[in-house]
Amino acid sequence: MASQQPQSKSTDEYRTLYKTYLEHCNAHDFEAMRTFYASPLLVNDKPITPEEVTSSFQPMIDAFPDWHWNLRNLTIEGDYLSLLFKVTGTHKGDFRGYKATGRKIETSQFTLYHVVDGKFAQVWDLVDFETLISQIK
């Protein structure tokens, strides 16, 4: 008799979960975003609360109020979601010591999520800030 492994969600269920989350991200709806996170959540291997995660987005939104994640690729393997984004926005507030320029930016972001019990339990994230900064200098 074969042992039964816990069933992971289907690829379609994970795709729907992520696309719903992304809609909240692009609406900058931090309250709704928090409902997708386990507590605590590991971000780049550091445990933080869902509130800390969403508050970390605030400086980006303050500096780039139209910050938008454009999904270029979503790959699902088991309980892991790998994403590639083109990120866009307009520099309308101070960011990392740079005053607002009004310039439009475009950069890349890679994120890997581990989903446990329907929540994002681990996230590894890399944004190409070097390219972003070069566009607002």
Q: pTM for this structure?
A: 0.89
Residues in CB range of 21: below 8 A, 6 or more apart: 33, 36, 120
Separation between Cα atoms, residue 93 and residue 116, nearest integer Å: 36
Q: pLDDT-based confidence at 127, cuts 50/70/90?
A: very high
- Tens-place pLDDT, residues 59-99: 999 999 999 999 999 999 999 999 999 999 999 999 999 99
Domain spans of the chain, in order of start = 11-136
CATH 3.10.450.50 fits 11-136, yes or no: yes
- Tens-place pLDDT, residues 30-57: 999 999 999 999 999 999 999 999 999 9
